[in-house]
Chains A and B, each alone.
Chain A
Amino acid sequence: MNFRNFKLNLSNKNKDLIPQILTVLFLILVVIYFTINAQSNMGNRGISFGFGFLSQESSFDITFSLIDYDGSHTYARAFLVGLLNTILVSAIGIFFATILGVTIGIARLSQNYLVAKSAEWYVEIFRNIPLILQIFFWYFAALRALPLTVDSINFYDISFLNVKGWYVPKFVWTNFSIFFYSIIFAFISIYFLAKYAQKQRDKFGKQIPTLYISILLIIGLPFLTFLIGGVSLSFEIPELTQLSKTVYVYQGGVSIIPELISLALALSMYTATFIAENVRAGILGVSKGQKEAAASIGLTKGQILKLVVMPQALRIIIPPTTNQYLNLTKNSSLAAAIAYPDIVLVFAGTALMQTGRAIEIISITMLTYLSLSLSISVFMNWYNKKMAIKEK
């Protein structure tokens, strides 16, 4: 009877809201339903559910870890080792992919025919071959091409490259923390110096040579700790040891395993092609008039690129490049194929196998990748905002 009135009372806004709330409620119900369903199924099959295994002893060893680890540590610790290895290879990959990508991207726009064509060929070849094949190629090509330990490639008797890895000297510090704090202190001083210099310039037009003072601070302060802080540094150089008639190994020093080298190489060379295309698009996206105007006031080619084109191009380059960084991080999970102990191999591989806790481990791994990706995303969005045109 009052139906018509009731309908009229609903504002447009509420009408839209009700289906949305119901949809959300429904989605929550679906998740709960599937959780209960999975639990009862697992119960029927005699599989228990829980995260207690994380504190159990893992009893397997890992080739390469940034923190202290062996099989007597827990599964949680093994997870951390895998996570750090994933972050390490992603960071190295992103670093080199960016340098290589920017170089190739600029090279593609070069006036020099040979440079432009080589860059184009590079992009077309490396972005059109599946990444997993490239990883296998670099790994097995490297293994086949590198010499055995006893015939290592020798870099000035301090560093050695062979099929078992790249051995570099290890830094042995005493009182490292003092040295470390001195660097942090230097950076803080530079920050305040820059603020002070800016104030002086704005208020009184006085120029303070911040660059020279900064360099002095960043070199001088840590150097002082060597003289008076009791800090010292020595090198542990890898040494060739014979294990049996034909088996040799370098001991001491730091070993960079071939799995890491080839994975980082493959990831950065592959991702660099996409970044190069972003850079090219960004530069071409800056209108020609800008370059001509810059040239007409007498800027050199380098200055035009650095001062006029790049600041504008970056706005176009950053968002799609963020995607590439995310892709690289996720692609690093292919590491498992060549025995690089990343989170997929260590945690979603060995740990999953030993414990049989598929649901728990896969959800932890998925959440980890999600948070990694979101962190990169947040950082890149912050950087993008910083680079965006500030309208006054």
Chain B
Amino acid sequence: MIKSIKTWILVGFASLLLVACGQGGGGAGSKKSKTLDNTKKAGFVKCGVSQGLPGFSNADEAGNWTGIDVDVCRAVAAAVLGDADKVKYTPLSAKERFTALTSGEIDVLARNTTWTLSRDADIGLTFVGVNFYDGQGFMVRKASGINSVNDFRDGISACTNTGTTTELNMRDFFNSKNIKYEPIAFEKADEVVQAYDAGRCDTYTTDKSGLAAQRTKLSNPDEHKVLPETISKEPLGPVVRQGDSVWEDIVRWSLNTMIEAEEYGVNSSNASSLKDSDNPAIKRLVGAEGELGAAFGLDNDWSLRIIEQVGNYGESYKKHIADTGILPNRGPNELWTKGGILYVPPAR
């Protein structure tokens, strides 16, 4: 009899434990600014980045993350917590990234992610903007004699990453040209580079910025070139969970502030001195006019901190993409006033 009582007690305890555990995980996103509250409580922004893509998000030997995607997270941290360094980075594979975001492991995904309809609408995500306009291209060996995508013939083998839009674009492209090809898709970018380098495939296809960045990892970068054609639109941008509109607005306007700051010539060194500028738009940007931060539950200096601690978009691009030799030419990622397509709604 004693034995069976013990069993009963054990079963009871186990059930209590399990029910308690189950309830802990429930009901995220029901309250409006839950992510903001949690971020303030934790003291850092939980940011998902790539596993190493120079220019976008890459860690140095000391473990410091840099890149234009990283700067989005830094901007959010500066706006919300007052310190751009208060970010916890989680390196994610293409496969893991959305699950990490929807499950709450990260709050911002800044990982060169292409904005598409199905991603935006179907799987519980919201894209807040575009921080890099990219397009898919092809890299080949210079000696191959291939100078354009029109030189591809039946039987060509193409290496790429699995689980990305590039895999789909590649199929659309080769199908439209009626070329039979051999697709070889790897889980991690480093393996793609190694396999392409060893001659397993004739061409390497991914976003052009990625090609430029990965080319530096090849054993002889000078023996390879990127073909001129662009076969797809790849607007890359930060992503947040669906259902927390306040947090969504904070991330969107952190990015917009960086672009708007460049448009009005406000940068990290002159921002604080522009508080008494004659231009009301600039005054709003540096927090000297209006009550813009209150809309998100932030103070009025949120945008000034972004510009001072992270810099404007132009500074970020120059530091991470242009000066590192990845893409010295800004192309479409130039302001609309200078012939590019960067155009953000006014901050007012």
Taken residue by residue from 185 to 216, chain A's Cβ proximity to chain B (1 for < 8 Å, 0 otherwise) reads as: 00000000000000000000000000000000
- Check A140–B162 contact: CB distance below 8 A: no
Chain B residue, CB-CB nearest to A148: B199
Could you tell me the distance in whole angstroms from the C-beta of A224 to the nearest C-beta in chain B?
39
Q: Tell me how many residue pairs across A and B have CB atoms closer than 8 Å.
A: 161
A254 to B241 Cα, complex, angstroms? 47
Identify whether the interface residues of A are mostly helix, strand, loop, or mixed: helix
- Check B145–A349 contact: CB distance below 8 A: no
A292 on the interface (CB 8 Å rule)? no
A164 to B184 Cα, complex, angstroms? 11
- Using A164-B157, A244-B145, A336-B187 as known contacts, say yes or no to A26 and B11 having CB atoms under 8 A apart: yes
- Check B18–A30 contact: CB distance below 8 A: yes
Cβ–Cβ < 8 Å partners of A34 in chain B: 22
B102 on the interface (CB 8 Å rule)? yes
B19 on the interface (CB 8 Å rule)? yes
- Check A44–B27 contact: CB distance below 8 A: yes
B51 on the interface (CB 8 Å rule)? no
- Check A243–B202 contact: CB distance below 8 A: yes
B25 on the interface (CB 8 Å rule)? yes
Taken residue by residue from 307 to 340, chain A's Cβ proximity to chain B (1 for < 8 Å, 0 otherwise) reads as: 0000000000000000000000000000011110
Stretch of B65-73, B163-171, B248-256, B267-275 contacting A (4+ beta carbons < 8 Å): B163-171
- Check A45–B102 contact: CB distance below 8 A: yes
Q: What's the interface size class on A, roughly? A: 35 or more
- Check A339–B186 contact: CB distance below 8 A: yes
- Check B199–A345 contact: CB distance below 8 A: no
- Check B191–A339 contact: CB distance below 8 A: yes
- Check A45–B191 contact: CB distance below 8 A: no
- Check A44–B243 contact: CB distance below 8 A: yes
Could you tell me the distance in whole angstroms from the C-beta of A266 to the nearest C-beta in chain B?
15
Contact of B195 among A40, A241, A339 (CB under 8 A): A339
Count contacts on B: residues with CB < 8 A to the other chain.
Answer: 66
Cβ–Cβ < 8 Å partners of B181 in chain A: 61
- Using A241-B155, A245-B143, A247-B144 as known contacts, say yes or no to A339 and B202 having CB atoms under 8 A apart: no
A71 to B174 Cα, complex, angstroms? 11
- Check B184–A63 contact: CB distance below 8 A: yes
Chain B residue, CB-CB nearest to A19: B7
A271 to B71 Cα, complex, angstroms? 47
Cβ–Cβ < 8 Å partners of A247 in chain B: 144-146, 156, 202
A376 on the interface (CB 8 Å rule)? no
Chain A residue, CB-CB nearest to B116: A354
B29 on the interface (CB 8 Å rule)? yes
A196 to B188 Cα, complex, angstroms? 60
Cβ–Cβ < 8 Å partners of B124 in chain A: 42, 45-47
Contact of A350 among B143, B144, B163 (CB under 8 A): B163
B32 on the interface (CB 8 Å rule)? no
A144 on the interface (CB 8 Å rule)? yes
A34 to B119 Cα, complex, angstroms? 26
B63 on the interface (CB 8 Å rule)? no
Could you tell me the distance in whole angstroms from the C-beta of B79 to the nearest C-beta in chain A?
24
A245 to B14 Cα, complex, angstroms? 70
- Using A140-B194, A336-B187 as known contacts, say yes or no to A352 and B95 having CB atoms under 8 A apart: yes
A105 on the interface (CB 8 Å rule)? no
Chain B residue, CB-CB nearest to A34: B22
- Using A19-B7, A336-B187, A338-B186 as known contacts, say yes or no to A37 and B145 having CB atoms under 8 A apart: no
B277 on the interface (CB 8 Å rule)? no
Could you list 21 A-B pairs, sorted by A, with CB under 8 Å? A26-B14, A34-B22, A37-B25, A45-B102, A48-B122, A61-B167, A61-B171, A140-B194, A144-B198, A148-B199, A163-B200, A243-B202, A244-B151, A245-B146, A247-B145, A249-B155, A249-B157, A339-B186, A345-B185, A349-B95, A358-B98
B binding-site residues for A, Cβ under 8 Å: 1, 4, 7-8, 11, 14-15, 18-19, 22, 25-30, 94-95, 98-99, 102, 118-119, 122-124, 141, 143-146, 151-157, 159, 162-164, 167-168, 170-172, 175, 181-188, 191, 194-195, 198-200, 202, 241-243
A binding-site residues for B, Cβ under 8 Å: 7, 15-16, 18-19, 22-23, 26, 30, 33-34, 37, 40-42, 44-48, 59-63, 71, 140, 143-144, 148, 163-164, 241, 243-247, 249, 251, 258-259, 336-339, 341, 345, 349-350, 352-354, 356, 358
Instruction: Contacts A243-B156, A354-B163 known; list 16 others, CB within 8 Å.
Output: A7-B1, A23-B11, A26-B15, A44-B28, A44-B243, A45-B102, A45-B241, A45-B242, A60-B168, A61-B167, A61-B171, A143-B195, A245-B144, A247-B156, A350-B162, A358-B99
